Amino acid sequence: MTTPLLVILILAVAGVAVALGVALVSMARVRRLTRRVMIQETALLSLRGALSAVCSSEMATDQRQAEVERRLRQVAEKQELLLLRDPEQGPYQHAMRLATQGASREELMKTCALTRGEADLLLALHGKQKDEG
């Protein structure tokens, strides 16, 4: 072989070797990047699931808060009505009527949601006397 041809052949083999080395390095880098992309996709899916759970929880909390606010408005309205109502028409009026009809302490406590002391007082003031009868 002639010397210039040998030099070209050596240069060609060296070029192929360099190209092969670059290709191998590039393939290794592509594999590493592919693994990183897969890891990040998995993390992204996990974050989407967590975000979905947070959104669902927030919606449930908003619904509970709306329900509590609705109930609070109802209680406030009832309280306003009770404040405006004539005290003569209150629950004690009904309890006095029951006491005069001979209701027991337990009946007054259960029916009118009175305490033992309230029921005893109403019976003492308005109950049927034992010696009347």
Better-predicted residue by pLDDT, 72 or 82: 72
What the block records as the tokens of 4 is: 């210039």
pTM of structure: 0.41
- pLDDT (tens digit per residue) in 7-40: 999 999 999 999 999 999 999 999 999 999 999 9
Biggest distance spanned by C-alpha atoms of the chain: 147
**Are the C-beta atoms of residues 114 and 123 closer than 8 Å to each other?**
no
Task: State the Cα angle at 125 between 121 and 130, rounded to 5°.
Answer: 105
